[in-house]
Amino acid sequence: MTRDHATGAAGPISTAERPAPAASPTTGPDTAAAPPRRLTLAVCCFGTLLVLMNYTAPMSTLSATAADLGAGLSGQTWMLSSVMLGIAALLLITGGLGDAHGQRRVFFYGALLLAASTVVCATAGDNGVFVGARIVQGIGSAAIMTASLGIIGYAFPAGPKRVRATGMWGAMVGGGITLGPAISAALAMVDDWRLGYWAFAVGAVLLAIAVRTLVDEYRGDRPERTDWAGAVLLGVAVTALLAALVQGRSGWLAPEALVLFVVAVVLAVAFVIVELRSAAPMVDLRLFRDPDFNAATLGSLFTGLSILGVLSYLPTVMQKSMGMTALAGGAMLGIWAGTSFVVSLLTRRLSDRVRGWHRLVIGMGLSIVGDVAILGIAPDAHWARFVPGLVVSGVGSGLLNAGLARMAVESVPAHRAGMGAGANNTARYVGAAIGVALTVVASTSVMPSGDAAVDAGAGMDRALVVCAGLSALGALCIALTRIGKRARTDA
């Protein structure tokens, strides 16, 4: 491993993990010994694409999967949220592991873990096994996402090249959400819902091979201890909060719900204390002194909370209320996600003419408009009625995905790229896990009318209003970080 004496940053190491000649995260590895950057970027993007395809796989086949595995409404909530728990609990750990022991190594083992857990999903005989495998999928996905974005942060220097690279990485989020439900639904029509998981398992094996052969190794400046205590506290805190929200459907003042809420708060406080005292924390809390880091973290949290959560459940509601097939419901979600994919790719043309925090606020604003335009799901509604709202929301998501990816790596020191990626994505998927639970709670809390299809649409309307309010709160919080930064600069 080498160091760039001009910047003090640690450099990448070679594929064989020997010291690289004259390399640094600013200039990248020696091109004579390392794979071309375009291949590195392609593998990183494919990894993120596959993670999001796995993540969204149940969205279009949730009813069929639940019926086959004997899962009720609470079980369906866990089916959608379980992968996010695994992602949220381990993202920060995998970011630190990548910085300390090598991003490629973490990427490779994450791909293997994703392949194995996806096979278990394909062969699950009950909901408990399926949910457990989905949590493990989330752990593998966490490794892939942090390592891939961390590698981009090392391999591409700040400026137009990094803007293009992070824009493409962010576009894969939309691309995966577009393809996952569609492929899952299409393969379910050929056989059943399990076939999609077999296909994704094959993709994960191919990813592991590509990582091992086409990606160079990058790491931070020194090995560090792994903060497993912080990982356990964060994972159990999020799980307790999610369980409290699910339990709250039967009464927010029920003893079980109140106890779970208290446990979640206590564990969250304990997590902060552990991070402050740890010699090698999952996330260096001093990073929160940077307003740009705060804006990126808040943007990711509210993206998951107000956008990913509600749209994860949308295909299921459209099937219940409008009688859509699984493939048609997945296609409707694909309108939003496909738009997000295209916009993320095009954001590189904005360059620095639109500042990062502006993109986040605009993205949140467009999500609010999209949520309002989607209101009105009902048995007699035509699918075309919802296309404009999904497109507007997709534009907002595209701006958010690309902007957040760039801010995640630029708001931290170069040798902390993995930690920055981990913190950013942890916030996103903690928000998404909570957002799914809030959506299910809101959408199933309407007064029954005797018509399940009507009730499903009315419940989704309530959830969309709640999420529009959360997007507004997110935009306000991001704007406040900018005001704080300006005040600090003026002082």
Mean pLDDT of 412-425: 71
Q: How many CB atoms lie within 10 A of CB 388?
A: 14
> Average of pLDDT values for 16-35?
39
Q: Is pLDDT above 80 for 45?
A: yes
- Res. 491 pLDDT band, cuts 50 70 90: low
Q: What is the mean pLDDT of residues 93-115?
A: 86
* Cα–Cα distance measured from residue 186 to residue 466, given in angstroms and rounded to the nearest whole number: 32
Predicted TM-score (pTM) above 0.85 = no
pLDDT tens digits, 245-261: 777 666 667 788 889 88
Of the candidates 274, 183, 264, which has an alpha carbon nearest to the alpha carbon of residue 231?
A: 274
Cβ contact 166:143 at 8 Å:
no
Residues 383, 409 contacting (CB under 8 angstroms): no
Q: In terms of pLDDT, which residue wins out, 354 or 19?
A: 354
Mean pLDDT, the chain, rounded, equals 81
Q: Which one is predicted more confidently, 127 or 72?
A: 127
Q: pLDDT higher for 67 or 404?
A: 67
Both ends of the chain: CA-CA distance in Å?
A: 40
Give pLDDT, residue 25. 40
Per-residue pLDDT band for 10 (boundaries 50, 70, 90) equals: very low
Q: Which residue has the higher pLDDT, 334 or 374?
A: 374
Of 59-63, 103-107, 121-125, 353-357, give the lowest mean pLDDT range: 353-357
Q: Give the pLDDT band (50/70/90) at residue 308.
A: confident
In sequence order, what are the residues at sequence separation of 6 or more whose Cβ sits closer than 8 angstroms to the Cβ of residue 347? Answer: 163, 167, 170, 359, 398, 399, 402, 403
Distance in angstroms (rounded) separating the CA atoms of residues 181 and 312: 10
* Rounded average pLDDT over 6-31: 35
Cβ burial, residue 349 (10 Å; 0-12/13-18/19+):
exposed
What average pLDDT does this structure show over 420-443? 80
- The 3-state secondary structure of the chain, one letter per residue: CCEECCCCEECCECCCCCCCCCCECCCECCCCCCCCHHHHHHHHHHHHHHHHHHHHHHHCCHHHHHHHHCCCHHHHHHHHHHHHHHHHHHHHHHHHHHHHHCHHHHHHHHHHHHHHHHHHHHHCCCHHHHHHHHHHHHHHHHHHHHHHHHHHHHHCCCCHHHHHHHHHHHHHHHHHHHHHHHHHHHHHHHCCCHHHHHHHHHHHHHHHHHHHHHCCECCCCCCCCCCHHHHHHHHHHHHHHHHHHHHHHHCCCCHHHHHHHHHHHHHHHHHHHHHHHCCCCCCCHHHHHCHHHHHHHHHHHHHHHHHHHHHHHHHHHHHHHHCCCHHHHHHHHHHHHHHHHHHHHHHHHHCCCCCHHHHHHHHHHHHHHHHHHHCCCCCCCCHHHHHHHHHHHHHHHHHHHHHHHHHHHHCCCHHHHHHHHHHHHHHHHHHHHHHHHHHHHHHCCCCCCCCHHHHHHHHHHHHHHHHHHHHHHHHHHHHHHHHHHHHHHHC
Q: And the tokens for 26?
A: 């600013």
Report pLDDT digits (tens) over 140-159: 998 998 888 888 878 887 77
Of 220 and 227, more confident: 227
Say which range, 19-33, 146-160, 310-324, has the weakest mean pLDDT. 19-33
